[in-house]
Structure 1
Amino acid sequence: MADALTADPPKTAAARPGSIVLARHGEPDIARDVMLNARGYEEYWGRYEQLGIRPGQTPPPELLEQAAHADVIISSVRRRSIESTQALVGEREVARNPMFVEAPLPAPKFPAALKMSPKVWGFTARFWWWFFNHHAGQETRVQAEARADQAADLIIELAEQGQNVVVMAHGFFNFMIGRSLRKRGWRLTANQGWKYWSTRRFERS
């Protein structure tokens, strides 16, 4: 496995750009039927960031086909993305790049007596991070948007050489990369939503 994109491909643009597919990783191997306060969610998210995916998962046929036709496959460096990519392409060479990790989810400092499910905490933490700049010393929205722009520029450069690109990363940061792609003239041509293993395909004529 490669740790980063190290090749120096030709800089000339292809007659027709390749496609870009942003895929979300498989289902993580962590329980969700728990109720947590803010401190508990911080610990939960810390474990989530370290864990892989539930054993026995198989990528959907459409994603397998997209990967088979991809010239470049990029994975986030998080374990859940790495294991999802291995399930997708086996021992095929993959570029792992920390630029594609998920945006942070710091929990708001709500009273300890308030307990919510991980799903509700995730939505709440993202809302506060996005709209109220609650970052708790972690990456801010502005910083994450700049990172998403850099990620978009990287994969656009590859696609403009005629290469089909598949990125195995994370739900919300894929959304942010998608916004950057659209700002740069790329069209969303297929959208499977945000479930695990879902994909969003971008093309430019």
Structure 2
Amino acid sequence: MTGMIVTARHGRPNVDRSVKITAREYGFWWANYDKTGLAPGQTPPDGLVNIASEAEVVLCSTLPRAIETADRVTNGARIVPRDALFVEAPLPPPPFFPDFIKLTPTTWGVISRAFWFVGYAPEGCESHRRARRRVKKVVERLTSEVDKVDGDVLLCAHGYLNWMVHRVLIKRGWKLVDHQGGNDYWSHRAYRRQTPPAAASGRSTEATMAAE
């Protein structure tokens, strides 16, 4: 039997989600979020640390919150390859909202994801369609890594991206065998292949979760 694919969400970033901001300001907030590392004083769950210690391969996205998560779960004991393929699906500020409407970043995130999900993507922003194509490449990369090492592969990435990966993995014959922490920070999902690779190749899916 091949090893597991494990996707983990990063730890809690060092940002303030309690502020009230406009839709336009949300664009700047999200840009800053992508530059921010983890809030201090966090300890990764023991279960995730154990998975990282036993994994043949640990990967992460190029965003600071994912890089620092990978470093913490491995106790800095290994060099973790970083790849922009694994970055979070974008959240462009939603259109058509006047500046007198101020909401928390979390609320704007839900609204933005809904707009993005139905096709809204301003110039320079990855669309939902392109993100779905990228997720297929993520799954192909993770599957290839598992097949090469015949051991577990851990990806330290992001909540929505991991959800999209989940749907594709299930469609391609992988079974969810462990799920800890819901979709919260430091959560993880583990999968084992149930159908032979040749029978499952080439299938695709789309995400239905519309929150950050």
Q: Normalising by structure 2, what TM-score?
A: 0.87
Structure 1: how far apart are the matches of 2:58 and 2:130?
25
Match of 1:94 among 71, 76, 80: 80
- Size of the aligned set, in residue pairs, is 189
Unpaired runs of 5+ residues, structure 1, are 1-15
**Counterpart for residue 78 of structure 1:** 63
Deviation at 1:56, TM superposition (A): 2.1
Structure 1: how far apart are the matches of 2:114 and 2:129?
14
**Counterpart for residue 6 of structure 2:** 21
**Counterpart for residue 148 of structure 1:** 135
Deviation at 1:135, TM superposition (A): 1.1
Structure 2: how far apart are the matches of 1:158 and 1:46?
31
Secondary structure class of the residue paired with 1:116: coil
| 1:15-94 correspondence to structure 2 within 5 Å | 16-89=1-74, 90-94=76-80
Structure 1: how far apart are the matches of 2:77 and 2:45?
18
Q: Normalising by structure 1, what TM-score?
A: 0.89
Deviations 1:162-181 (A, max 9, x none): 12000000000011111111
Secondary structure class of the residue paired with 2:170: helix
Match of 2:119 among 125, 130, 133: 133
Unpaired runs of 5+ residues, structure 2, are 195-212
Structure 1: how far apart are the matches of 2:141 and 2:172?
12
**Counterpart for residue 104 of structure 1:** 90
**Counterpart for residue 12 of structure 1:** none
**Counterpart for residue 121 of structure 1:** 108
Aligned Cα root-mean-square deviation (Å): 1.0
Runs of 4+ in 1 over 3 A off after TM superposition: none
**Counterpart for residue 203 of structure 2:** none
One-letter amino acid matched to 1:135: A
Determine what percentage of the aligned residue pairs are the same residue: 39
Deviation at 1:134, TM superposition (A): 0.9
